[in-house]
Amino acid sequence: MKEVYVAKTASRGIAVASVLKYQEPDYTPDRSCITEAQAAEEKAKFAKAKETVKNVLSALAAENEIFAAHLDMVDDFTLQEGVDGKITGELKNAQVAVHETIQEIAALFGMIDDEYMKERATDIQDVGKRLMAELKGITLPDIGSLTREAIIVAKDLYPSDTVKINPDFVKGIITEEGGVTSHVSIIAKSMNIPTLVGVGALLDSLGDDTVICMDAEKGIIVVDPDEKTLAEYQARKEDYEKERIRLLNLRNTPAVTADGKRISLCANVGNLEDIQKALEMNIDGIGLFRSEFLYMENTHFPTEEEQFDVYSKAAQLCPQELTIRTLDIGGDKELSYFEFDKEENPFLGWRAIRISLDMKDMFKQQLRAILRAGVFGHVRIMFPMMISLEELRAAKEVVEECKAELKAEGKAYDENIELGMMIETPASVLMAEEFAKEADFFSIGTNDLTQYLLAIDRGNKKLADKYDYFHPAVLKAIAHVIKAGHKEGIKVGMCGEMAGDAKAVKKLLEMELDEFSMSAGSIDYVREQILNV
Q: What does the binding site for ligand PEP look like in residue numbers (CB under 6 A)?
A: 288, 290, 328, 424, 445-448, 495-496
Q: Which of the listed partners (Mg ion, ligand PEP, none) does 495 bind, with a CB threshold of 5 to 8 Å by partner kind? A: ligand PEP
Q: How far apart are CB 22 and Mg ion at their closest, in Å?
A: 37
CB 176 within 8 A of CB 199: yes
Output 94 or 423, the one with its CB closest to Mg ion: 423
Q: φ and ψ at 505, to 5 degrees? A: -60, -50
Q: What is the DSSP string of 127-150?
A: HHHHHHHHHHTPPPP-GGG--S-E
Q: How far apart are CB 496 and ligand PEP at their closest, in Å?
A: 3
Q: Which of 154, 103, 152 is nearest to 127 (CA)?
A: 103
Q: Catalytic: 266?
A: no
Is 445 among the residues that bind Mg ion (CB under 5 A)? yes
Output 445 or 521, the one with its CB closest to Mg ion: 445
CB 321 within 8 A of CB 314: no
Strand blocks (E) in 136-219: 150-154, 170-175, 195-196, 211-215
Piece of 154-162, 309-317, 448-456, 460-468 that binds Mg ion (CB under 5 A): 448-456
Q: How far apart are CB 341 and ligand PEP at their closest, in Å?
A: 21
Q: Which of the listed partners (Mg ion, ligand PEP, none) does 82 bind, with a CB threshold of 5 to 8 Å by partner kind? A: none
DSSP category for residue 203: G
Q: Which of the listed partners (Mg ion, ligand PEP, none) does 161 bind, with a CB threshold of 5 to 8 Å by partner kind? A: none
Is 497 among the residues that bind Mg ion (CB under 5 A)? no
Q: How far apart are CB 448 and ligand PEP at their closest, in Å?
A: 3
CB 301 within 8 A of CB 362: yes
Q: φ and ψ at 63, to 5 degrees? A: -105, -20
Output 321 or 448, the one with its CB closest to Mg ion: 448
Piece of 230-238, 249-257, 420-428, 482-490 that binds Mg ion (CB under 5 A): 420-428
In b/e form, how buried is each residue of 482-515, taking b as 16+ CB within 10 angstroms? bebbeeeebbbbbbbbbbbbeebbebbbebebbb
Query: How far is the C-alpha of 15 from the C-alpha of 17, rounded, in Å?
Result: 7
Output 126 or 497, the one with its CB closest to ligand PEP: 497
Output 43 or 491, the one with its CB closest to ligand PEP: 491
Q: How far apart are CB 481 and ligand PEP at their closest, in Å?
A: 13
Q: Which of 329, 342, 268 is nearest to 297 (CA)?
A: 329
Output 95 or 326, the one with its CB closest to ligand PEP: 326
Cα angle 320, 325, 328; round to 5: 160
Q: Which of the listed partners (Mg ion, ligand PEP, none) does 446 bind, with a CB threshold of 5 to 8 Å by partner kind? A: ligand PEP
Q: Which of the listed partners (Mg ion, ligand PEP, none) does 374 bind, with a CB threshold of 5 to 8 Å by partner kind? A: none
Q: Which of the listed partners (Mg ion, ligand PEP, none) does 122 bind, with a CB threshold of 5 to 8 Å by partner kind? A: none
Give the CB-nearest residue to Mg ion: 448
Which residues fall within 8 angstroms of residue 125, CB to CB, at 6 or more apart?
102, 106, 158
From 213, 266, 402, 495, active-site residue: 495
Residues forming a β-bridge with 380: 323, 418
Q: Catalytic: 495?
A: yes
Output 70 or 290, the one with its CB closest to Mg ion: 290
From 70, 99, 183, 318, active-site residue: 183
CB 317 within 8 A of CB 280: no
Q: How far apart are CB 302 and Mg ion at their closest, in Å?
A: 20
Q: How far apart are CB 328 and Mg ion at their closest, in Å?
A: 6
3 state SS of 443: strand
Q: How far apart are CB 386 and Mg ion at their closest, in Å?
A: 11
Is 287 among the residues that bind Mg ion (CB under 5 A)? no
> Binding mask 375-414 vs Mg ion (x if CB under 5 A, - otherwise)?
----------------------------------------
Q: Which of 523, 472, 473 is nearest to 501 (CA)?
A: 523
Which residues fall within 8 angstroms of residue 196, CB to CB, at 6 or more apart?
6, 8, 9, 10, 172, 173, 174, 175, 214, 216, 219, 221
Q: Which of the listed partners (Mg ion, ligand PEP, none) does 210 bind, with a CB threshold of 5 to 8 Å by partner kind? A: none
Output 270 or 302, the one with its CB closest to ligand PEP: 270
Query: How far is the C-alpha of 524 from the C-alpha of 514, rounded, in Å?
Result: 17
CB 497 within 8 A of CB 469: yes
Among 448, 497, 501, 515, interactor with Mg ion by CB under 5 A: 448
Among all residues, which ones are annotated catalytic?
Answer: 183, 495
Q: Catalog residues that contact Mg ion under the rule CB under 5 A.
A: 424, 445, 448
